[in-house]
Amino acid sequence: MVVQNSADAGDVRVGVQLEPFLHQVGGHLSVMKYDEHTVCKPLVSREQSFYESLPLAMKQFTPQYKGTVTVHLWKDSTGHLSLVANPLKENREPFKVSTESAAVAIWQTLQQTTGSSGSACALAQWPHAQLACTSKESPAKALLRSEPQLNTPDFSLVEDTNRNQVEKKSFNPWGLHCHQAHLTRLCSEYPENKRHRFLLLENVVSEYTHPCVLDLKMGTRQHGDDASEEKKARHMQKCAQSTSACLGVRICGMQVYQTSKKHFLCKDKYYGRKLSVEGFRQALCQFLHNGTHLRRELLEPILRQLQALLSVIRSQSSYRFYSSSLLIIYDGQEAPERAPGSPHPREAPQAAHGSSPDGLTKVDVRMIDFAHTTYKGSWNDHTTYDGPDPGYIFGLENLIRILQDIQEGE
């Protein structure tokens, strides 16, 4: 949807209405869909600097950086709140978001369900989520602190607090949770006409029909060098009580398409924090399982990319990827079987859907979230490190080992 904003007299801007990104499975910052191939997220200077000075060897393992855009709050005639981006100068034709967009419809339903009466900036309560807000924290922080139990007719988590299966829908609710918290924070902490800067990044799932996404928090340390003592202690405790300490990796969220039931099975970061080493291995198996069988053909291409990434990380001296995540992505829609005598994908003019040029099933392995990444010469850093990131390497090595064990049937 193309909208016009005339907050200032004589200042009429044409903008792109941002959609909630329905394939966000982890993190706490809201990721928004800008167009079919582009997402955007709140700009953090350290992360922007990382993308702008990205080593060439790492580019294949990170989303393409597309610049920045200015974003502001906008309320339509019915009172629905959304974010609008002013298009890039080189993008003269703004992307038109259909009013029938599923993401927009879901978000508007959420606002109607939670109520929009009273102040437009009032916190829209999640059903069954008790947000006990202290006087020293904002409603947005209380929302982020809560474990969302999204048991409404329109969206729900797949498991309740007792790990019993409940409603199953065809999208992951985590992105809406983050979007709700972000809008609430913008409303409560900033003037309505405040302009915010967002990063524009490649939508790494745009080529997939039913993107299965695993978000892994990598490394044995999650706090940045600039973290307060309180935040440092909190993150150290989370690592010590999860597989981050013993494996250097923990699950931050995932969605996996169940072909027979045509819905995504979803897990969030709270689930990932509670896993034992064996639980982590079982969760990896679940990520590769479509509800009827284990997708064993995915293991070789995933392992190849992880091993290539490990080689790249080992060559990056001084880099520390604190609190960054690693995405593993594949299509829940399996490629059709090749008929006898038909050309092999590498011999065909164009690889079949779901296949990479080398004939293996298409997968993506991408590093994301670099707000706390540090390296020699990085933005406003006073601490430098020697050699590659040992915690990240430890996590990658364990992840590869466990996937190899699954591949060998152990």
pTM of the predicted model as reported, rounded to 2 decimal places: 0.78
Q: Which fold has domain 207-335+359-409?
A: D-amino Acid Aminotransferase; Chain A, domain 1 (3.30.470)
pLDDT tens for each residue of 77-125: 887 788 999 865 444 344 444 444 555 555 555 555 544 433 333 323 3
pLDDT tens for each residue of 234-266: 888 888 888 999 999 999 999 999 999 999 999
pLDDT of residue 234: 85
pLDDT of residue 28: 84
Per-residue pLDDT of the chain (410 residues; tens, 9 = 90+): 445 444 433 333 568 889 889 999 998 889 999 999 999 999 999 999 999 999 999 999 999 999 999 999 888 788 778 899 986 544 434 444 444 455 555 555 555 554 443 333 332 333 323 333 344 443 333 433 443 333 322 333 444 444 544 444 467 888 888 888 888 888 888 887 789 999 999 999 999 999 999 999 999 987 877 878 888 888 888 888 889 999 999 999 999 999 999 999 999 999 999 999 999 999 999 999 999 999 999 999 999 999 999 999 999 999 999 999 999 999 999 877 655 555 544 333 444 456 666 778 999 999 999 999 999 887 666 778 899 999 999 999 999 999 999 999 86
Q: How do the domains of the chain map onto residue ranges?
A: 13-108+174-206, 207-335+359-409
SS (H, E, C) the chain: CEEEEEEECCEEEEEEECEECCCCCCCCCCCEEEECCEEEEECCHHHHHHHHCCCHHHHHHCCCEEEEEEEEEEECCCCCEEEEEECCCCCCCCCCCCCCCHHHHHHHHHHHHHCCCCCCCCCCCCCCCCCCCCCCCCHHHHHHHCCCCCCCCCCCCCECCCCCECCCCCCCCHHHHHHHHHHHHHHHHCCCCCCEEEEEEECCCCCCCCEEEEEEEECCCCCCCCCCHHHHHHHHHHHHCCHHHHHCEEEEEEEEEECCCCEEEEECHHHHHCCCHHHHHHHHHHHCECCCCECHHHHHHHHHHHHHHHHHHHCCCCCEECCCEEEEEEECCCCCCCCCCCCCCCCCCCCCCCECCCCCECEEEEEECCCCEECCCCCCCCCCCCCCCHHHHHHHHHHHHHHHHHHCCC
pLDDT of residue 101: 55
pLDDT of residue 352: 46
pLDDT of residue 140: 36
pLDDT tens for each residue of 365-404: 999 999 999 998 876 667 788 999 999 999 999 999 999 9
pLDDT of residue 109: 56
> What percent of the chain is predicted at pLDDT more than 70?
70
